[in-house]
Structure 1
């Protein structure tokens, strides 16, 4: 078992997983073991392992295939033009991109979600609720919650776009919450609950509008002072 030092567990897990991929343990095209298998191998929890995988998806090392799992796409971290755009972009620009991606995904999820999708969304909402006291836990749970909705849209392109932005967004959100000092308010949780209920009720327009309204508020709160 490989022990992980303190600081960012997800970042360290991602680097250790990348090192093992580059060593040939999982060649290109290989399907990775599931999170429940990988997490103990790196001495981290499932949510941390999930975030590490998400980071490597965003970096082009791994690829998620709907209904099949996570596969090794490359052993080299080639920095693409898209990666460079995300690195340069102010977080408000990334949030504006989320408006397009997640607003559409929420509407599609309301129309296309399966009972299994809805169970996953409700489960991730509950995890998010319990994570509210801690900034890092809340951000990781929040990203997992929003990703579960994108998954329920059954649109692979929207999912790839979300995954590519996730590492950039995660770090900025954690920094913002730590600076803000207060987070996880009941009103914020209620806004997320309303989105879930609109998806459960199969109300695409309401799900779309509620998601956009939430992200617009978030974007305003993170806008630079003038």
Structure 2
């Protein structure tokens, strides 16, 4: 049995699982083994197997039915349509982030304390150290942006950011998978510029740089 390499990510496990599906291992409408069995067969942990199932479900190939298990819907789903829907969903999330984070950046530039600025610098440095693996990159990126919202001293914006965090995290993860790259020097440099604008209390630059960053993310999905 072919095994996923130890360093593989969930999308590699999803591709291996898809290859088995297309080889006819399960019939359309049939039930797949449970996560524990699939994890063992693929040579990955349960969480990775669960994520691989989620990836294929998002492409319309599998369906998870509460209390019943995972079922094969089709081996020939149109990846173009599924990807188009995924891109549209990510764009909607970026639009919502823009509404929250541009104003937060402007307010943070105006209102931040020295302690909050230090915490934001630490979050930026942590982001810079965790750019290799998607999940860590997304988590440290979100921590940096949350630090900006905290420094804005706006309880409503913070509530909106936290309430939206789970959806934002998933959308950013999906976006990076679609794009096929992440954590580049240009991207991190943009975040450094946003930090410096906030640190220098340049309200206009903080808002403009944040808006430009999020708009660039959206453009890359066009």
Q: One fold, TM greater than 0.5?
A: yes
Matching residue of 2:135: 136
Asked if the contact 2:90/2:175 (under 8 Å) is kept, the reply is: no
Where relative contact order (Cα < 8 A, 6+ residues apart) is larger, the structure is 1
Is the counterpart of residue 115 in structure 1 residue 114 in structure 2? yes
Matching residue of 2:47: 7
Hey, what's the Cα distance between the residues in 2 that align with 1:146 and 1:185? 17
Matching residue of 1:158: 157
- Determine helix, strand or coil for the equivalent of 2:145: helix
- Determine helix, strand or coil for the equivalent of 1:222: coil
| Unmatched runs of 5 consecutive residues or more in structure 1 | 12-88
**Deviation at residue 6 of structure 1 after TM alignment:** 4.8
Matching residue of 1:207: 206
Hey, what's the Cα distance between the residues in 2 that align with 1:91 and 1:114? 33
Hey, what's the Cα distance between the residues in 2 that align with 1:213 and 1:158? 20
**Deviation at residue 169 of structure 1 after TM alignment:** 1.3
Hey, what's the Cα distance between the residues in 1 that align with 2:177 and 2:92? 20
Matching residue of 1:175: 174
**Deviation at residue 180 of structure 1 after TM alignment:** 2.3
Over 3 Å counting, the alpha-carbon distance change for 1:92 and 1:179 in structure 2 is closer
- Determine helix, strand or coil for the equivalent of 2:201: coil
TM-score (norm 2): 0.60
Hey, what's the Cα distance between the residues in 2 that align with 1:208 and 1:176? 23
After superposition, where does 1:66-145 map in structure 2 within 5 Å? 90-145=89-144
Hey, what's the Cα distance between the residues in 2 that align with 1:90 and 1:138? 21
Hey, what's the Cα distance between the residues in 1 that align with 2:211 and 2:125? 21
Runs of 4+ aligned residues of structure 1 deviating over 3 Å after TM superposition are: none
Matching residue of 1:147: 146
Hey, what's the Cα distance between the residues in 1 that align with 2:151 and 2:46? 34
After superposition, where does 1:48-59 map in structure 2 within 5 Å? none
Asked if the contact 2:93/2:171 (under 8 Å) is kept, the reply is: no
- Determine helix, strand or coil for the equivalent of 2:109: helix
| Unmatched runs of 5 consecutive residues or more in structure 2 | 1-44, 52-87
Matching residue of 1:194: 193
Hey, what's the Cα distance between the residues in 2 that align with 1:134 and 1:205? 33
